[in-house]
Chain A
Amino acid sequence: MSLTNEIIKQRLQEKFGEQVSGFEEPYGMLTFEAPKDHNLKVLQFLFDDAELRFQFLTDLCAVHYPDQAGRELAVVYHLHNLIDNVRIRFKVFTDIASPDVYTATSLYSTANWMERETFDFYGVNFVGHPNLKRILNVDEMDYFPLRKEFPLEDQTRRDKDDEMFGRGGSIN
């Protein structure tokens, strides 16, 4: 019997009841969310359950929604069951003032750098991470550059006197 989105949804609801919510299937991939202090329980259940077996963490990243008060940051896990070849997407939301989420490093060694990257760009504080420090940006950086309030360079700026890049100088 192959594993379908319907079965996964049912198994999760049996186990966690009201705690798992927001079931959707955008482009065929089952997507759901849970409260942030339940993230490890859900991941552990998905990992251990003899039927579900989501033991491969494909991807982990964050998304910033500045307009959703109290749920500004989303941490998104893409999980893959390699035996039945099913992918799911699992989200936890956290407020930006105290962005503490439990780390998944005990379950997946691969979460180590993925979480460091997420911390680096969004400032999600992964509680219990063995080495939570910046990975791609410089250590001295004091902001989280992929958050929406961090602006990209204004393309019409004129203060940069740099002919090589086509700004200012004799070109204008």
Chain B
Amino acid sequence: MSELTHPHIKLPEGSIEKQTSTLNLGPTHPATHGVFQNILELDGERIVSAEQTVGYIHRAFEKLAERRPLYQITTLTDRLNYCSSPINNMGWHMTCEKLLKVKTPKRVDYLRIIIMELARVSDHLICNSIVGVDTGALSVFLYVMQYRELIYEIYEEICGSRLTTNIGRIGGFERNFNNTAFTKLEKFMAEYPKVLKEFETLLTRNRIFMERTIGAGPISAERALNYGFTGPNLRAAGVDYDVRVHSPYSSYEDFDFQIPIGKTGDCYDRFLVRNLEMWESLKIIDEAYKKVQEFKGAEAEVFHADIPEYYLPEKKDVYTKMEALIYHFKIVMGETEIPAGEVYHSVEGGNGELGFYLISDGGRTPYRLHFRRPCFIYYQAYSEITQGSMLSDAIVTLSSLNVIAGEMDA
């Protein structure tokens, strides 16, 4: 820190020039991977202070949610962390189910786990390969993009869309998984481990990569907890907190997996934790898929809970059955009354604990909905963890924190 108090640039006595230079990193800088700004005060290449400005893409989701029926809020959650939208969607459905006291069938839980873990793999894959890009290794990023594509094809088979998925419904899925979806899943599971292995071979012991990331942007466990870190960033600092284990949802308690942790909380540890988590996710997907295949007969066709007030009936029933027609109308027009209550539910998102705090006063729309957005919360530590480091370290730190502008600004 002594360099900070004794700047490198010595200006003549009485000079009105300042000793440091200001650099705007963002709002549209390639290193931010999103729209937000860092105003850095630099002494040479060393960062004296950093001030973040966020909110460029604020879309008032919490206000909008106060006028929407529950099912229409799913599309808002897509646009939080758009690298792993299915996790956000499922988190929202589960929040509603908790409020409505709905118990989902086991098969739905397992199918959800498959989707959520695929989303986690794609999220970590993007984040880690972007860390590669920012340290100068573009080819790994381009290479693994193919495999994110395979994941997106699986989403497409289930819900029809790829990035902002709107996948699933309150109570289950909009339709049963078709055979193509399972074939594509099998293809992915057969091909991906080899690629992940190659990905690790390219970067993990790569000397340039190690020297760029080891010791860059470190944070201690104590500071990380005080800053509200969650997800891989907290685990890289050595705290084994994972929502999937601490407050299991969607039958995660049926699965056996480990929580990888790091030690120093720097960019390299975050990278390692994410890679290890991908291996754990693959194990979970494999196990969940086996469990799904074990269902026989009528059970093997179950893909949603039986809650006619909230789950849209089949279209052919709408034309032929009175009840189905009524429910269809009530759901689509948002005329279903939600029971009054106050509920907090969280899921392990791609970059941390994604929480939903929902208050209902018994009306048709939430009275208040608050999203706990993990990267909004941990991004405020950025100025502390980059202070005194080189500009190039700050850029790697930014990408390895996995800050997603959409989630930050809600």
Decide if A and B are genuine partners.
yes
Tell me, yes or no, whether A58 is within 8 Å of chain B by CB. Answer: yes
Tell me, yes or no, whether A171 is within 8 Å of chain B by CB. Answer: no
A61 and B357: CB pair below 8 A? yes
Q: Given the known A-B contacts A82-B241, A113-B380, A114-B377, are A145 and B225 also in contact in the complex, defined by CB atoms under 8 Å?
A: no
Chain B 373-410 residues near chain A, CB threshold 8 A: 376-381, 384, 409-410
B372 and A59: CB pair below 8 A? yes
Of the A-B pairs whose beta carbons lie under 8 Å apart in the complex, a sample of 7, sorted by A's number, is A26-B343, A56-B228, A59-B344, A108-B228, A110-B377, A121-B62, A135-B55
Q: How large is the interface on B (under 10, 10 to 19, 20 to 34, 35 or more residues)?
A: 35 or more
Tell me, yes or no, whether A164 is within 8 Å of chain B by CB. Answer: no
Tell me, yes or no, whether A29 is within 8 Å of chain B by CB. Answer: yes
Q: Which chain A positions have C-beta within 8 A of B359?
A: 63
How far apart are the CA atoms of A137 and B67 in the complex, in Å? 20
How far apart are the CA atoms of A89 and B377 in the complex, in Å? 18
Tell me, yes or no, whether A27 is within 8 Å of chain B by CB. Answer: yes
Chain B 207-237 residues near chain A, CB threshold 8 A: 223, 225-228
Q: Which chain B positions have C-beta within 8 A of A69?
A: none
Q: Which chain A positions have C-beta within 8 A of B376?
A: 113, 117
A78 and B357: CB pair below 8 A? yes
Q: Which chain B positions have C-beta within 8 A of A64?
A: 368
Tell me, yes or no, whether B362 is within 8 Å of chain A by CB. Answer: no
Tell me, yes or no, whether B353 is within 8 Å of chain A by CB. Answer: yes
Cβ of B23 to closest chain A Cβ, rounded Å? 21
How far apart are the CA atoms of A135 and B355 in the complex, in Å? 20
Q: Given the known A-B contacts A59-B357, A59-B370, A146-B62, are A109 and B227 also in contact in the complex, defined by CB atoms under 8 Å?
A: yes
Partner of B343, one of A27, A56, A58, A134: A27
Q: Which chain B positions have C-beta within 8 A of A150?
A: 63
Q: Which chain B positions have C-beta within 8 A of A56?
A: 225, 228
Partner of B341, one of A26, A58, A61, A114: A26
Tell me, yes or no, whether A20 is within 8 Å of chain B by CB. Answer: no
A148, closest chain B residue (CB): B66
B377 and A78: CB pair below 8 A? no
A118, closest chain B residue (CB): B370
Tell me, yes or no, whether B9 is within 8 Å of chain A by CB. Answer: no
How far apart are the CA atoms of A63 and B359 in the complex, in Å? 9
11 extra A-B contacts, CB within 8 A, seeds A57-B228, A76-B357, A113-B379: A26-B343, A27-B344, A56-B228, A58-B228, A59-B344, A64-B368, A82-B239, A109-B223, A109-B228, A110-B378, A145-B63
Q: Give the most central of B58, B239, B247, B341: most A CB within 10 Å.
A: B58
Chain A 54-95 residues near chain B, CB threshold 8 A: 55-59, 61, 63-64, 76, 78, 82, 85, 87, 89
How far apart are the CA atoms of A100 and B227 in the complex, in Å? 23
Tell me, yes or no, whether A31 is within 8 Å of chain B by CB. Answer: yes
Q: Which chain B positions have C-beta within 8 A of A1?
A: none
Q: Which chain A positions have C-beta within 8 A of B280?
A: none
Interface string of A147-171 (1 = CB under 8 A from B): 0001010000000000000000000
B377 and A113: CB pair below 8 A? yes
A64, closest chain B residue (CB): B368
Tell me, yes or no, whether B102 is within 8 Å of chain A by CB. Answer: no
B54 and A31: CB pair below 8 A? no
Cβ of B101 to closest chain A Cβ, rounded Å? 9
How far apart are the CA atoms of A145 and B60 in the complex, in Å? 9
Q: Which chain A positions have C-beta within 8 A of B342?
A: 26-27, 31, 89
B227 and A110: CB pair below 8 A? yes
Tell me, yes or no, whether B316 is within 8 Å of chain A by CB. Answer: no
Q: Given the known A-B contacts A26-B342, A152-B63, A152-B67, are A136 and B54 also in contact in the complex, defined by CB atoms under 8 Å?
A: yes
How far apart are the CA atoms of A71 and B60 in the complex, in Å? 25
How far apart are the CA atoms of A82 and B343 in the complex, in Å? 19
Partner of A89, one of B62, B63, B344: B344
A82, closest chain B residue (CB): B241
Interface string of B303-321 (1 = CB under 8 A from A): 0000000000000000000
